[in-house]
Amino acid sequence: MSNWATIENVVELAAAPENVWHAVTNAERIEQWMYPTDFAPEVGRPFTLRPPANPRADFDGTVTGLVLQADPTRRLTYTWNGGPVVGTVVRFGIEPTERGARLELEHSGFDLGAEWGEGARSGAEVGWPMMLGKLAEVVAR
């Protein structure tokens, strides 16, 4: 039987929700805080991200995904598959606040029963906060 894990991160951003949406859905902006990509916020559209390769983790530097939901300035959901990590889903929720926007990130589907599960979850627990810190810098400009 598999154990499934989800990681969650919440950040308060000093930017309007529209600016945050643009930063998480525009390929040029995504590259500034995450990785090079051909992403576009169109439901059903496949995309590729190009993080650094990690041969020790059997990862060639390619993440593929499919946009599942794109509700402008509010919700974005897509699949995330890279190397042995398959079947995970990333969700962004954006809510306006008095100072800008609150961004909630959920990355789910880490199968802790799979050989890759614990390592992938651990990597995401470190990687997402780092990338969200860069996102905060990008939207504050």
- Determine the pLDDT at residue 131: 97
Supply the range of the domain harboring residue 96: 4-140
Question: How many structural domains compose the chain?
Answer: 1
If one compares 99 and 55, the residue with the highest pLDDT of the two is 99
By the 8 A CB rule, do 94 and 101 touch? yes
pLDDT tens track for 67-80:
999 999 899 999 99
Taking residue 62's Cβ as centre, other Cβ atoms within 10 Å add up to: 13
Q: What is the CATH number of the domain that holds 18?
A: 3.30.530.20
Q: Quickly state the pLDDT bin for 128 (edges 50, 70, 90).
A: very high
If one compares 83 and 132, the residue with the highest pLDDT of the two is 132
Task: Give the list of residues 6+ apart from residue 57 with CB closer than 8 angstroms, or none.
Answer: 83, 84, 116, 119, 123
